[in-house]
Amino acid sequence: MGAPLPLLAIVAPAGVDKYPKYLVDFGRVVAFTCMEEAYSPRNEFEVAEDENTNLCAYLFPDSPWLASYDPLRYFYSAEVVERFFHYLIFGGDNNIEVITPNVPKIRAIEQSEVLRIEHSL
């Protein structure tokens, strides 16, 4: 298995030109998808009901992906990973799904700023 790669996502719930936006740092991930919302393949999600209709991020604890990736826990790092999480973020343009052993770190972005990302190869 190759080394797990880090993943950052920028979420703009009020629209791409509006603030606040959020930088979601998933840390190192096992797998992720990013698909255009209107043409994404059918999925096996349950209908989520909540009083807050503005929610767009979910944890999918019964995900079939988790069962598929579970054996990887023993090879993911020097230590056995306790569990993986399946995160979903539904947007107006793109939907992402992430499999990771990490709880993401979220930072609010209140105004325009430059984001520099460096990665050593």
Query: Which tens digit of pLDDT belongs to each residue from 76-118?
Result: 777 778 899 999 988 777 889 999 999 999 999 999 999 888 8
- Which residue type, as a one-letter code, is found at position 120? S
Distance CA 103, CA 87 (A): 9
Q: Is the pLDDT of residue 66 over 80?
A: yes
Give this prediction's pTM: 0.82
What pLDDT shows up at residue 120?
A: 76
Distance CA 14, CA 109 (A): 12
What pLDDT shows up at residue 48?
A: 58
User: What number is the average pLDDT over the span 30-59?
Assistant: 73
- Would the CA dihedral through 113, 98, 48, 38 be positive or negative? positive
- Sorting pLDDT into bands at 50, 70 and 90, what band is 29? very high
